Structures are given as structure tokens and as C-alpha cells.
Amino acid sequence: ATPMMQGIIDLHHDIVFFMILIIVFVLWMITRTLYHFHYKKNPIPEKIIHGTAIEIAWTVTPSLILVLIAVPSFALLYSLDEVVDPAVTIKAIGHQWYWSYEYSDYSQSDDQSITFDSYMIPDDDLELGQLRLLEVDNRMVVPANTHLRLIITAADVLHSWAVPSLGAKCDAVPGRLNQIPVFIKREGVFYGQCSELCGANHAFMPILVEA
């Protein structure tokens, strides 16, 4: 749903490509070894102990593979810190056990900023089509195709603001402001949950972003 998520998916595909190459090669080597060195086929083992060329190859090749994986990985990691001049800034605050949100961009110095709490809807109050343990009473509503900045903190213990489909996961730490950029490419509803063990009702503080 976001460029960040697309980057994560692309990196995953790159790593799986190397993984498949390695699995195929290792299985081929094991099969070949078991076939050629079977006790019936080759009863007298060879006396060779070292092979310099092959030892260099099996040291250098994995190193090169790691470098090839590292380049896109670091690019993605550093792009997580890049916040393009955002149109909207939202502050998400983790509480035991609910989230609260502040939209303070458009308030004057003496105005009250837009602040609301977002609680999970209990099973008894769910309407048809609403998702159990994921639906909230007040959604975080944001514009699509807009650069957003999320400032994330906590009021009591460690929480983590995570929406997998947006490629967003950021720790909410008391006394500290963490920030992540979000750019949602399409309209829709995106679900997440607190993903830092934060106490008895940890499983009951979902996140719902409506773009």
C-alpha cells in the first residue's frame, strides 16, 4: 500500500532469489556426494584433505552474496528515516490499553488541538462486517497520496505502533518521540495492532487507519 511496503516486498523477493539458488546448489552437492562416495561405489576413500581453490571459493562466494543483499537492505533502512516535507503530522500516543491521536498542525497557539482516543470495540458491540479485535470506535483518518509524518510516543510503558500493510512499525517509548514517514497510495482501511508486550490487555489495543 505504500512505497515503504513495496520496498520491503522487493527486498524479500531479492533475498528469496538468493535463498533458492543456495538451496538448489546445496541439495545438488549433497546428492552428488552421497552418490559418488557411497561405500559400494567408492569403497576406498581418497587421501585428499585440503583443496585451496574450493576453500577460497566457498569463503568468497557467500561474502559476495551478503554484499549483494546488504546494498538494497541498507538503502531501505536509511529510507525509513527520510521524511519528505510532510503535509500532515499526526501524533500517536500509546496508553494501557488504547491509542490516542493528536492532529495539531492546524490549530493556532491558543486553540485546542484535535485529540481523540481510539478504543477497541468489544465483541458485544460489533456490527455485521466489522472485524473482531481489530475494529475501533475512532479511526485515524488520513488523506491518501499525501506525505504524512507520524510522531509516536507512549504515556506509560513501551508500546509499538505497527500497521503491516503500510510497512510501518515503530516503538512507542515513554519520554521519547519517534517518527516515521507514511505515504498511502490508495484509499482504504488498514489494520494493525500494538506489537510490544505492554501488559494484560496488550492484545486489545488495535490500530485502524482509514485513508
161 lies in which domain range?
88-210
Q: Are residues 55 and 156 in the same domain?
A: no
Could you give the CA distance from residue 65 to residue 77 in angstroms, rounded to a whole number?
A: 18
Res 88: pLDDT: 92
206 contacts 120 by C-beta, under 8 angstroms: yes
Res 161: pLDDT: 97
CATH (domain of 144): 2.60.40.420
∠ CA 159-101-156, rounded to 5°: 35
Per-residue model confidence as pLDDT tens digits over 45-90: 777 788 899 999 999 999 999 999 999 899 888 877 776 788 999 9
Domain count, the chain: 2
Residue indicated by cell numbers 479485535: 133
Where among 28, 46, 81 does a domain terminate?
Answer: 81
Task: Assign 209 a pLDDT band (cuts: 50, 70, 90).
Answer: very high
Res 99: pLDDT: 97
Average pLDDT value for the chain: 91
Q: Are residues 22 and 107 in the same domain?
A: no
Q: Are residues 113 and 157 in the same domain?
A: yes
Contacts of 113 by beta carbon, 8 Å cutoff, 6+ apart? 102, 103, 104, 107
Q: Are residues 141 and 200 in the same domain?
A: yes
Please state, for a pLDDT cut of 70, what percent of the chain lies above it.
97
Q: Are residues 109 and 72 in the same domain?
A: no
Per-residue model confidence as pLDDT tens digits over 7-40: 889 999 999 999 999 999 999 999 998 998 888 8
140 contacts 101 by C-beta, under 8 angstroms: yes
Q: Are residues 115 and 151 in the same domain?
A: yes
Nearest to 148 by CA among 82, 101, 85: 85
Three-state SS at 33: helix
169 contacts 152 by C-beta, under 8 angstroms: no
Per-residue model confidence as pLDDT tens digits over 159-182: 999 999 998 999 999 999 999 889
Could you give the CA distance from residue 118 to residue 155 in angstroms, rounded to a whole number?
A: 14
Q: Are residues 29 and 60 in the same domain?
A: yes
Residue 30's Cα: distance from chain center in Å? 35
Task: Assign 201 a pLDDT band (cuts: 50, 70, 90).
Answer: very high
Residue 25: its H or E element: helix 3-36
98-103/159-163 β-pairing: unpaired
